[in-house]
Amino acid sequence: MRDTPVVISLLILCVLAFLAELASSHALIEWFALWPLELFGSGSLGDFQFHSWQIVTYAFLHGSVPHLVLNLYALWMFGVPLERRWGGQRFAAFFFACVIGAALVHLAVAEFALANGDSAYPVVGASGGVFGLLLAFGMRYPNARLILLFPPIPIKALWFVIGYGVVELVAGVTGTATGIAHFAHLGGMLTAFLLLKGASWLP
């Protein structure tokens, strides 16, 4: 793992941030979670408000131990081969671009929801960056075999990515599985796709 220092650093930072969350009650969530812009809202979030740094900091916060563990496991699984392929600097640039892209898509969708009288909520978690890594892994290693948990059968990475993307899109459009930022996930995947198709520095 010495050849993947960025992945290791991200794992450590997420764990430390989660421990800090536990120790600080809601203070970190108030300042560093991704809060809606509320351009069309009624100010229903009270004192909680958007700050520019939140488009990055939200990725290091997590809502629960399972949320943290799943994201870190996926970050390790898909991040290690990609960092080995691209090197630390390119991998870091790609990951944070996906994090920011996911945040921007979520903010846009949240504003649309508020403008139509629906509710919006803050977002935490590295999922936007992780979904970008998932898509990159599927595009760069399409024939790699992954083992599903339910059912425990092997599936090629490309088909897994396509299937997961469709599930996220359907869940986001229909509003099922509420409490999950489906469009942030899709934003991370979209950012990854655009980068991989347009950036020559990501072989």
Domains of the chain and any CATH numbers: 5-198 (1.20.1540.10)
Virtual torsion, Cα 33, 129, 131, 105, nearest 10 deg: 60
Mean pLDDT of 135-148: 89
pLDDT tens-digit map of 94-112: 999 999 999 999 999 888 8
CB 135 within 8 A of CB 194: no
pLDDT tens-digit map of 11-42: 999 999 999 998 887 788 888 999 888 766 55
Asked if the model's pLDDT at residue 113 lies above 60, the reply is yes
Mean pLDDT of 170-180: 64
Helices (H), the chain: 5-23, 27-32, 54-57, 65-86, 88-115, 127-140, 157-174, 182-198
**For residue 164, what are the contacts with CB-CB under 8 A and spacing of at least 6?**
134
